[in-house]
Chains A and B, each alone.
Chain A
Amino acid sequence: MLDTEEIWLLGKPICRGIAIGTPLFFQQAAEAVQVQEYAIPEAQVEQEVERYYTALEKAKQEVIALQKRLQKEKMFDAAAILDAHLAMMEDPLLTTYIEEQIRDVKKNAEFLFDAAISACQKRFSTIEDPFFRERFKDIRDISSRISDHLKNRVRSSLSDIPQNSIIFTDDLTAFDSAEAKSDAVAAFVTTEGGPTSHAAIVARAKGIPYVSNISFDKIAAKESQLIVDGRTGHIILNPAPKTLAKYTELKEQLQLHMQKVAHRGTLAAETFDGYGIQLSANIEMLEGVELLHRYGGHGIGLLRSETFFLSRGAFPSEEEQFRLYQHLVQQMKGLKTVIRAFDVGGDKYAHLISQPGKESNPFLGCRAIRFLLREREIFKTQLRAILRASTFGTVWLMFPMISSLSELQEAKQVLQEAKRELREAQLPFTDPLPVGCMIEVPSAALIADLLAKECNFLSIGTNDLVQYALAVDRSNSWISSLYSPFHPSVVRLIKLVAAEGEHNGVSVSICGEIAADPRFTPLLLGLGIQELSVAPRFLPVIKNAIRNTSIVSAYKLAEQVLKMRSTSEIEEFLTQEYRKNVPEDYFYNFS
């Protein structure tokens, strides 16, 4: 029978893990159902007005509850946006105007409400400035809340979903994911969205498997059970009993392994012959810090500062940034916190930037340090906030996407200016503040010796380095298979940077995704990397990989890999080696 045939769809793996669950199609836009229109008899007008205000009040209470939760989670920006939502719910256009309409026109509240919102939408759609036109999204969000209450309809929200739901959606907004009950979400599947999308950040922080680039045509809502393989990017529909059994066992094995390594979280991050390395965490949400401490992370190796201000339309003020950095640094209790300056531009958070024109090639365009050096005030504001936070713990500063020595020098000049301003204002900061470069462009890797002489540390961002070294845009599905960190050129670039770092006495860390792939761990140690920075969730797996290798064999392994000639040869070799070292981790057991 055709409809019970097992179907395998291939998408892009964003966050690893395996899920077996039932699909839940999540549509954030209210479906275009025709709103009923009927007359209200004179005697019932007051009752209708009352009904409207009750719905409004319920919607308001929902927003207040969500806001409280966000504040508790220290997501102040998202909480601030909800202030605007509350103000909108008190807007005369949605209160007294609707009330008057009900009294005058004597029709049902949902019809009049819907008409008012449509009029509003019409007005917004004529606004030329796209930034203001976009504001209608906020209104749509609150209007769907209110009309859901009017119609007594259960709002499509992720706050109350059945256990083991696999969420299918085009993309998730900041609010959807904030509302999501994370223990009920088994996996995310989206049609679009890359590793920097909001859903990806939530998924990574909460350890939820996530596959994108899947078209939903083949998937019916009645699908009883399906499998998401976040390792490979496969979605398996109508799994045959054999497939289901295999994945059920795999999932259990993985859980068991994760539990086992998590228990050893407090052990030292050292090889079995006693070579210790720094194992830190990449932080993009405040809740990551708790995991970091639980798993004994040595510090924050990469604070993605821009992700904290995701949900807003503008760059945050110095005070707001200062409060956030201060809070984070205090939470780190003296452990090192490497704050990376805003990495915006390219495909990342383009909405924050008012660009002069659309860039034809944003990846090779005005992003990260290039953007910051152009927009000095934004840059300096951030540097001042970071400097001020530095007195509350151990803060290091990192510049993203350096591609030449002059960029590093210019960035350091801006830092000097920021320091001078703070001195004049008599605000305290740590001086000198250790400064480092991200190495994510091949040109920077090739001049690592020059950069190392003028900064205190280097950090290799392999996600971009691979993309730039191989000239592959990994979001382009035609060529994304060419994107592989196992490419011999990538290994050589890492070796070059590590060697120059050692020669010049500065530490070299890796903060890209390969740091969180345990197959790479012995190779990276063997190449001379002294620090790995991974999403907090992966700390135990990587620590386990470190503890199952020896530095002597790691050196030998690195030598062997450097002689290899192809991507597949290296991938196979490292996978085999890992399976030998850590046979109980089924994650890379694809057979």
Chain B
Amino acid sequence: MKLIRKVRVKNGLGLHTRPATAIVKLLQHCKSSVSFSYKRDTINAKSILSILMLAAKKNSLITMTIEGEDAGEIMDKLVTAFDNSFGE
């Protein structure tokens, strides 16, 4: 299964260390491949360094691409996390 969806970064400081840590933790045991595209970059969302290097500020639109058996479940979790501003 392959899912593609756009999400908006809602928290004030963008995808900084804390949200990036949260994303990586969320994906720790995920079986699908997950990538984020922002501007011209596409990165592996399981890599905290890559997420930080996106330098995505508040209100950035991120395209998430998830491919694998648990894609649906992972997509729901990620969208919820983005919507909750990663608890900030």
Residues on A close to B: CB < 8 A? 80-81, 83-84, 87-88, 90-94, 120, 123-124, 127-129, 131-133, 135, 138-139, 313-314, 317
Contacts and interface: CB of A to CB of B under 8 A. Distances in A.
Interface in B19-77: 20-21, 24-25, 44, 46-50, 52-53, 55, 57
B5 to A, nearest CB: 23
B53 A124 contact: yes
A134 B16 CA distance: 10
B16 A314 contact: yes
12 contacts: A80-B18, A81-B17, A84-B17, A87-B48, A91-B47, A124-B52, A129-B55, A131-B14, A132-B55, A133-B55, A135-B17, A314-B16
Given A87-B21, A92-B44, A132 B14 contact: yes
A313 B55 contact: no
Contacts of A87: 20-21, 24-25, 48
Nearest to A95: B47
Contact of B16 (A80, A94, A135, A139): A135
A129 B54 CA distance: 11
B54 to A, nearest CB: 8
Contact of A120 (B24, B49, B87): B49
Contacts of B55: 127-129, 132-133
A132 B46 contact: no
A83 B20 CA distance: 11
Contacts of A124: 52-53
A224 B20 CA distance: 47
A83 B19 CA distance: 11
What are the 10 A-B residue pairs with the smallest beta carbon separation, nearest first?
A132-B55, A84-B21, A127-B55, A84-B17, A87-B48, A87-B24, A91-B47, A87-B21, A92-B47, A135-B52
B49 A313 contact: no
Contact of B46 (A83, A92, A133, A314): A92
Contacts of A129: 14, 55, 57
Given A84-B20, A90-B24, 5 more contacts: A84-B18, A87-B25, A88-B48, A132-B16, A313-B18
A138 B87 CA distance: 22
B52 A132 contact: yes
Contacts of A313: 13, 16-18
A88 B48 CA distance: 6
A133 B25 CA distance: 23
Contacts of B47: 91-93
A76 to B, nearest CB: 13
A23 B68 CA distance: 58
B52 to A, nearest CB: 5
B16 A127 contact: no
B49 A314 contact: no
B33 to A, nearest CB: 11
Given A87-B25, A120-B49, A317-B88, A131 B13 contact: yes
Contact of B48 (A91, A123, A128): A91
Nearest to A123: B53
Contacts of A133: 55
A91 B52 CA distance: 12
B17 A138 contact: yes
Nearest to A315: B12
B41 to A, nearest CB: 10
Contacts of B50: 91, 93
A83 B25 CA distance: 10
A91 B21 CA distance: 10
A135 B55 CA distance: 10
Given A131-B13, A314-B88, A83 B52 contact: no
Contacts of B24: 87, 90-91
A80 B16 CA distance: 13
A80 B49 CA distance: 17
B49 to A, nearest CB: 5
Contacts of A132: 14, 16, 52, 55
Contacts of A123: 53
Nearest to A124: B53
Nearest to B88: A317
A135 B87 CA distance: 20
A123 to B, nearest CB: 5
A84 B48 contact: yes
B17 to A, nearest CB: 5
A139 B88 contact: no
Contacts of B13: 131, 313-314
A83 B16 CA distance: 13
A52 B51 CA distance: 24
Contacts of B52: 124, 132, 135
A320 to B, nearest CB: 10
B49 A88 contact: yes
A84 B13 CA distance: 16
Nearest to B28: A90
A317 B46 contact: no
B29 to A, nearest CB: 12
A92 B46 CA distance: 7
A83 B28 CA distance: 13
A263 B17 CA distance: 47
Contacts of B88: 314, 317
